[in-house]
Amino acid sequence: ARLDNLCNISVKEAQNNDRVVPGLALIAPGGKHLLLRRRGAQYFAEVVDGPLVNRHRPSVDVLFRSVAKSAGANALGVIMTGMGDDGAAGLLEMRNAGARTLAQDEESCVVYGMPKEAVLRGAVEKSVPLTSIAREIQQQLG
């Protein structure tokens, strides 16, 4: 609710079958994995239980792997500040599937763990400062 009030787009906790549409950010509910599924030309959220992945649930790797499979080159992946390596393998799968990939640069990260691992694995096409991520996303998708 706080993010929804602060952001220029709508933000909500994802529920099964929420349609992925421009102007809406879906966030994984605590303790659940969030996946992307495609039906025809449309994308939908799937919220599932499941084992911990990289010691996490939700796991960024689970989401990114589903995006690689369901959206491939139609996707843009962004990995930002965070501890550990969750998301690095999934972002590489996205890049290998043709998606564009970005990371928050080291200088603007509070913790450079997750972006660093993604960069080291070759998953990141471009690293940008936090203040430039929104603009970069718009340019990539424009």
Q: For residue 127, what are the domain limits?
A: 2-141
pLDDT single digits (tens) 6-54: 999 999 999 999 999 999 999 999 999 999 999 999 999 999 999 999 9
pLDDT (0 to 100) of residue 117: 98
State percent of the chain over pLDDT 70.
100
Q: What is the pTM of this model?
A: 0.95
The letter for the amino acid at 138 is Q
Contact 86, 52 (CB under 8 A): no
Alpha helices (H) in the chain, listed in sequence order: 2-6, 60-70, 88-96, 113-120, 133-141
Q: With 80 as the cut, is the pLDDT of residue 142 above it?
A: no
pLDDT (0 to 100) of residue 39: 96
Domains identified in the chain, total number: 1
Q: What is the CATH number of the domain that holds 84?
A: 3.40.50.180
